[in-house]
Amino acid sequence: MQMPFGLTVFFGALVVWVGLLLLGLTRKKFTPFIIFGIAFLLFMNVRYLIEGAPAAIAFFIGIYDVLDNLGLQAGQTAAALATCPSNTCTVWGATYELHPSWGTAFYDRFLNGTELRTNLLYAHLSFNSIVFVLMHIQLSRPGTGANAAMHSYLGKISFACLTVGTVCAIWLAASHGSVNEYGGNLSMYGFWSMSFFVYGCAVMGVLAIRRGDITSHRIWMIRFAGSMWGAFWLFRVILFVMGPVLRDYPSANILLCIWVSAPLGILIAEIARRKILDVRLNTPKQTGDLAYD
């Protein structure tokens, strides 16, 4: 079995990233892990704009084919796995003929979907990627002293981009009720709840700074960052790890990710804030460290 080159790069990068996480947990300094995560997200999202949605989705599904097929014998299947016409929904060619059913539906919806749906996806990915980058710049350069004007300016741009990205996400999710492979209405409401957690944290942060409460603003922006990491990276990690565990239960894995990823990200961010970030708040910052590291 020969792994496609793109997936070789992906899994190699994933190994490096896990190593950076372990190093960060040991040293309690996560700057390299965070920067790598930002670059990794851009690698995942920008390919949609370069290759087009169907090709990028086929690559995305190829990531999950590996574990979802783990342990299956020839001719064996599972309730949460499906095939797709001519096996074009994956970059694996004929290596894997079974794929997560949410993935085959995802591929079909953008291969045969409307131009509006595709453009909404591109807009969602583009604007949320901008926000993902800007929120780390904002957290690394708090809006005090000489940074105040630029921090405020970037904050306004970030919130505007987040608003557009969130509207696109809500719009896309509104049509999920008819997609059984996603979980039907449960997926629609789940994606809306994800948008609520992400946008809600940002709104609370904006309201706090508008009333001059810098402490609350910082807290809510850290939670917002956690929700963004949860909605993107925790979503994908859970989807990857739990695939083989839940493949006998239709839609269970994708619904788990939809409902859990954003609030779990907020919880992790809150724990990190209390256990690490607040402790270091008044500690002199070393060169090269992010302000929230």
The answer on pLDDT for 109 being more than 90 is: yes
- pLDDT at residue 278, as a whole number: 77
User: Average pLDDT, stretch 102-112?
Assistant: 97
> What are the tokens at 129?
């990627």
Is 100 within 8 Å of 115 (Cβ atoms)?
no
DSSP 276: I
How far is it, in rounded angstroms, from Cα 239 to Cα 244? 9
Mean pLDDT for the chain? Answer: 93
Q: What is the pLDDT of residue 285?
A: 57
pLDDT exceeds cutoff 70 at 284: no
pLDDT on residue 245: 96
Q: What is the mean pLDDT of residues 46-54?
A: 96
Joined together, the tokens standing for residue 6 give: 């793109």
CA 185 to centroid of chain Cα atoms: 21
Contact of 123 with 49, CB cutoff 8 Å:
no
pLDDT value of residue 253 = 97
What long-range pairs does 91-99 form, CB within 8 A, spacing at least 24?
91/4, 91/6, 91/7, 91/58, 91/59, 91/61, 91/62, 92/4, 92/62, 92/65, 95/1, 95/65, 96/65, 96/66, 96/69, 98/65, 98/68, 98/69, 98/72, 99/61, 99/64, 99/65, 99/68
pLDDT at 36: 97
229-268 pLDDT, tens digit per residue, is: 999 999 999 999 999 999 999 999 999 999 999 999 999 9
Residue with more model confidence, 277 or 289: 277
Residue 288: predicted pLDDT: 46
Average pLDDT for 186-203 = 98
Q: Virtual CA dihedral for 35, 10, 20, 280, nearest 10 degrees?
A: 30
Phi-psi region at 183: left, alpha or beta (left = phi > 0; alpha = psi -120 to 50): left
Instruction: Tell whether the model's pLDDT for residue 172 goes beyond 80.
Output: yes
pLDDT band at 275 (very low <50, low <70, confident <90, very high): confident
Structure tokens given for 98: 């079974």
- Residue 1 has what pLDDT? 65
d(CA 21, CA 34): 9
Confidence class for position 293, pLDDT limits 50, 70, 90: low
DSSP state of 232: I
Taking alpha carbons only, the member of 173, 162, 81, 160 closest to residue 121 is 173
Q: Which of 113-122, 134-143, 176-185, 202-211 has the lowest mean pLDDT?
A: 134-143
Summarize the confidence of residues 123-140 as an average pLDDT. Answer: 97
- In this predicted structure, the answer to whether residue 290 has a pLDDT above a threshold of 80 is no
